[in-house]
Amino acid sequence: MASEKAGGEPHSSQVRIQLSTFQPDIALPGNTASILVNTTFRRYALSSVVNTILDNAKPIPFDFLINGVFLRTSLDEYLTQHGISSETTLNIEYVRAAIPPIHLASFEHDDWVSSVDVLSPSPTIGDHDNSRAADPEHERILSASYDGLLRIWNTSSAIIATSPGVEGGGHESSIKSAKFVSSTKIASSGVDRTIKLWKYADNTPLGPGSLNSQLTLYGHQASVDDLAVHENSNRILSASADHNVGLWSSRKADAPTAPFNLLQSASARRAKRRKTESSSSGNERGPLSLLKSHAGPVSGVIFAPTDPTVGYSASWDHSLKTWDLPTSSLVDTRMTSHSLLSLTALPELNLIATGTSARHITLIDPRTSAHTVTSMTLRGHTNAVVSLAPDPSSPYAIVSGSHDGTCRVWDVRSSKTEREGSVGQSMYIIDRESSNKRVRKQGESTKVFSVAWHSEIGIISAGEDKKVQINRGKRTETIDAPS
């Protein structure tokens, strides 16, 4: 096919572009040559060009990348900003545009909701441990609350199972973190300084679902605020306000005896609560090791996505630390300028995203060969960023939850260069539905505490409004308006 011309404005300057995509279902015919387009073209006009060549009956909205960065200006502005001649042929990649997440449902709780997780039916980007898979028709949402209870929901907002209270082996205070270890096991932790392992049974025609406490892990001396799990290795990582990272076994037979002093303290608390003597049940165990190096509360932990023998921890002491777990040794420390409150991995980019007290997200290259600490900064939140989760369908995107009452969706390719380096801007903002329906009273807050992202369910968030909220991008059949 000969070179084509798009956009017939006689006095407009033009530039030659070569369009390509890695998505085979929207690829141009193999003989499509470069085309001339007006330099005034922006995303909308370029989308129209691609849809015309594809002869789409129902236009698809596209995004466009040049040198791995989204085009957010006209072609003329891009050429000027980067000092590129209009005689140059621009290689432009196009992809389906992300769809703004809309509110689907909210699940009511009796108290603040601190943590959410999803039992996934399929592996996600960067998820090399598919042991947490569930039946595709039985996705389950796990929520942890300040009322000390765990709840498991189906996607129709029905509660499948609720954990027992203190008398039934439950937590003595607020739960701060909860994770599905597998389709039949759950781990939770909280202000009572313990980690609990639960046996989960889904509902059947013969009866409702159930959660039964199996094991309590002692070792921390302050609130346990975050957990990471890896079922295939039977390992759990914990982040605590006592400045330590805990490494644990989820198998009772492999776990050491619980520290006597902590067991004695817990027994005394239970006795005081019940006004009766309380003794050990035999289902208490201790840590494989406590990793000591942080100088402040540890806010988040994760396993390296491709190597469960490596762990990362983020702390209020401004540091991200890398640990060799089999030897319980510190491998590397990356210092930043602010307290780190959350973290997640972008494994294909070799980056760790960390939420900060300074209202932004810092992307850190944890490799010892990296010459700089901060690879990119994502700006937009107006309060602390306390939770992060990766996009299950893209290696470039994450969602963040903040005390400003919003979640934001980010793509690291949506960035610009500023004086302090590469800066990313959020693609979409998700407000709490409870804030949209009524006027907030003075002093009333809707802080987001936790986010998760599931390929089918969508973005799940939890917060101070006592709700689990679900938002999902909805496919559109027509192209969006010019921007």
420-441, pLDDT tens digit by residue?
778 888 999 999 987 665 555 5
The pLDDT of residue 334: 95
String of DSSP letters for 375-440 = EEEEE--SS-EEEEEE-TT-SSEEEEEETTSEEEEEETTSEEEETTEEEEE-SEEEE-HHHHHSPP
The pLDDT of residue 267: 61
> Is residue 151 a contact partner of residue 162, using CB atoms and an 8 Å limit?
yes
The pLDDT of residue 483: 40
Q: What is the mean pLDDT of residues 13-17?
A: 94
> Is residue 141 a contact partner of residue 118, using CB atoms and an 8 Å limit?
yes
Q: pLDDT at residue 282 above 80?
A: no
More confident residue, 278 or 150: 150
Rounded-to-integer distance, Cα 231 and Cα 453, Å: 20
| List of residues 6+ apart from 269 with CB closer than 8 A | 172
Q: What is the mean pLDDT of residues 228-240?
A: 96
Q: What is the pLDDT of residues 33-55, one digit of tens each?
A: 999 999 999 999 999 999 999 99
Percentage of residues of the chain with pLDDT beyond 90 = 71
The pLDDT of residue 161: 95
Q: pLDDT at residue 332 above 60?
A: yes
The pLDDT of residue 50: 96
Q: pLDDT at residue 131 above 50?
A: no
Rounded-to-integer distance, Cα 401 and Cα 302, Å: 17
The pLDDT of residue 98: 83
Give the predicted TM-score (pTM) of the model. Answer: 0.85
Return the amino acid letter for 483: S
| List of residues 6+ apart from 190 with CB closer than 8 A | 144, 148, 171, 173, 174, 175, 176, 177, 223, 224
Q: pLDDT at residue 126 above 60?
A: no
Q: What is the mean pLDDT of residues 127-143?
A: 64
Average predicted confidence (pLDDT) for the chain = 87
Q: pLDDT at residue 273 above 90?
A: no
